[in-house]
Chains A and B, each alone.
Chain A
Amino acid sequence: MQKIILHFDMNSYFASVEQQANPFLRGQPVGVCATLTKQGCIIASSKEAKAFGVKTGCRAEEARILCPAIKLVEVDPPKYHSTTQRIMSICREYTSDIELYSIDEAFLNLTGLVKSFSAAFKLGREIKARIRRELGECLSSSTGIAYTRWLAKFGSDTAPKGGIVTITPANRLAHLQGRELEQAWGIGAALAPRLQALGIQTLDQLAQYSPINLLEIFGIRGYELWANVNGLELGGLQTRELPKSIGHSHVLRCRTRDVNFHKSLILRLAERAGRRLRALGLEAHSVYAHANFELLGGLGGSQKLFEPLTTTQKFFRYAWNMLAPGVTKDTPKFFAVGLFDLRPLSGQLSLFSKPKPERLLKALDEINNRYGEEVIAQGELVGLDKHHAPDRIGFRKTVGVDI
């Protein structure tokens, strides 16, 4: 049976959702910023803004220089989560075998559902049309249809905005012909010069290069590159039930040396991660914390835990111990805390700590579940404005975020 994978990538997703929500933004250059400050980073720009050279990662003040008429909008994660959820519910009407690769792109396994690539093309067009009809005319996507996961993604990456590209065994080489190496998924600015040094300038040349040489030079990664461009499926769709890590980060809106304020911020980030951890019924066996400072630069690290962690307070203590040496000496600009090495909750009783905090946390979680986040919270969080460390959007963190 011919394997058929469809990949779609929403175009300028966050900006398109904002344009959909606000008709006065349609046709205008729009930049969606993480924070509406001069140093705020643009995480999505509309096609009109892209025409002025405003790209993802651009600072707000740079964007205003490139395009003085740009409308900057602060990120609104619930809007994008909810829209993605609705897009996925449309996709689930066609197949249950879906890999949600990020908040704005997904792979659909159409094998067995359609008989040919032309039928898959029709289905792709139907899904695109339904998204536009049911969610809004501003939401367009680029779609790739192929017989491997990698080629489907490559197809949508090389498709014109809003278009569909089908890569079959017959037209694969023709589609790779003359394409630059960096157009391929997985070949970045560091790897491309190394391939070029071997005389590989384009993707079709990579497909015809000796896989044994690539294996010797780049290891298994080299073989994977060769197999990908030659249409050999290596992994298939990857669906994860549990997240690899749960973390939250925040770029500070104001520069201050107020240690108590920073403590509250770190606690809020820890609380958010802790709530997600407990909601998923997991325990963490490792933690990480990182901060950037004005003078000291980056500081932080990770730690494997003696006992698994579920409580916010315990997580906060580890994070604070890692970051306190910097926070007390310098002005922080950025905090990131997270939990990894996650496993399902074992329920193992500890010899060394009392179960009371966990029971208390369960009660607190139930109150917050019923009445909203931080209705009841640690004392340090009282008075901390909700604009500090608000909910943020994660591009790849889609497991466990209600999608």
Chain B
Amino acid sequence: MLVFHEQPNQKVRVFAEFRPNPNIPTKLGLVGAGKQVIPKTFFWAGKRYDIQAINLVYQRRRGTKFDWCFAVSDQANVFVLVFNPESLEWTLAEVQGE
């Protein structure tokens, strides 16, 4: 069984859905509160990858700012997509597969 683990750290194009998060109460006057980002599909190296599951969402520190990391998977691979909320850019940080 071949296992690979790469860290391409390349910018990718992601199609994401913004929808209400039932776990976070909406706060009046706070833009974006109570919403969540759901990455659905991304394009990397000329291929389209449809995300089957968002397994874990966590934050990674960048100075005093935080990037959002989405550990996602399709049927064959596991990816970590990083969303920079300042520049609104997505980066493919990790790819793992067997």
Contacts and interface: CB of A to CB of B under 8 A. Distances in A.
Q: Say whether chain A's binding surface is mostly helix, strand, loop, or mixed.
A: helix
Interface in B39-98: 53, 55-56, 58-65, 69, 71, 73, 78, 80, 96-98
A68 to B, nearest CB: 13
Nearest to B56: A21
Contact of B60 (A17, A78, A370): A78
B11 to A, nearest CB: 17
A135 B61 CA distance: 19
Contact of B61 (A20, A24, A402): A402
Interface in A33-47: none
Contacts of A24: 73, 78, 96-98
A22 B53 CA distance: 10
A22 to B, nearest CB: 5
A82 B23 contact: no
B53 A23 contact: yes
B59 A82 contact: yes
A90 to B, nearest CB: 9
A235 interface: no
B80 to A, nearest CB: 8
Contact of A79 (B23, B53, B56, B96): B56
A369 B63 contact: yes
Contact of A83 (B56, B73, B78, B97): B56
**Contact-size category for B:** 20 to 34
Nearest to B22: A134
B73 A372 contact: no
Interface string A125-141: 00000000011100000
Given A21-B56, A83-B58, A370 B73 contact: no
B62 A82 contact: no
A82 B69 CA distance: 10
B58 A23 contact: no
Contact of B73 (A23, A85, A373): A23
A372 B63 contact: yes
Contacts of A370: 63-65
A306 interface: no
A20 B64 contact: no
A352 interface: no
Nearest to B78: A22
Interface string A365-403: 000111111010000000000000000000000000010
A35 to B, nearest CB: 15
Given A23-B73, A83-B58, A368 B63 contact: yes
A304 B46 CA distance: 60
B62 A372 contact: yes
A252 B61 CA distance: 24
A23 B78 contact: yes
Contacts of A369: 63-64
A83 B55 CA distance: 12
Contacts of B61: 78, 373, 402
Contacts of B65: 370
Nearest to A279: B64
B34 to A, nearest CB: 14
Contacts of A17: 56
Contact of A22 (B58, B59, B63, B96): B96
Contact of A78 (B59, B64, B78): B59
Nearest to B3: A71
A20 B56 contact: yes
A21 B57 CA distance: 8
Contacts of A375: 63
Nearest to A133: B23
A178 to B, nearest CB: 40
A301 B61 CA distance: 32
A21 B63 contact: no
A365 to B, nearest CB: 9
Contacts of A136: 55-56
A372 B63 CA distance: 4
24 contacts: A17-B56, A20-B55, A21-B55, A21-B71, A21-B80, A22-B55, A22-B71, A22-B73, A22-B78, A22-B96, A23-B53, A23-B55, A23-B78, A24-B96, A78-B60, A83-B56, A85-B59, A136-B55, A136-B56, A368-B63, A370-B64, A371-B62, A373-B61, A373-B63
Given A78-B60, A372-B63, A373-B63, 5 more contacts: A17-B56, A23-B55, A78-B59, A79-B56, A369-B64
